[in-house]
Amino acid sequence: MDDVAALVPVLARAQRQLAVALGRIAVHADGGPSSGGRAVDLSAEVTPLAEVLCAAADAADATADALAESLPLLENLAGGDTRS
């Protein structure tokens, strides 16, 4: 269980980084600047590719949230594990 508890925070950070990268690619796909930090405005007309990339970014961010929410549970489980 300790291995899982150590791995989940790493996976959560990786999903967060993936979400940021996908969001930046979506901005670029929508004709936005390749540098800078503006977010895609979904109320404006965006290309289908940008919409898909935004959805993927949202999914990665939701995955990171779910993984982060599991950390207290994993800590409790690991605390009760006597198989060190």
Does position 81 have pLDDT exceeding 70, yes or no? no
- Please report the pLDDT score of residue 12 as a whole number: 96
64 SS3 class: helix
**pLDDT average, residue stretch 56-79:** 92
pLDDT > 70 in the chain, percent: 77
pTM of the model: 0.72
> How wide is the angle at C-alpha 8 spanned by C-alphas 2 and 50, nearest 5°?
170
Domain boundaries, the chain: 2-34+42-79
**pLDDT average, residue stretch 6-35:** 88
Pick the more confident residue, 75 or 52.
52
> How wide is the angle at C-alpha 73 spanned by C-alphas 72 and 75, nearest 5°?
65
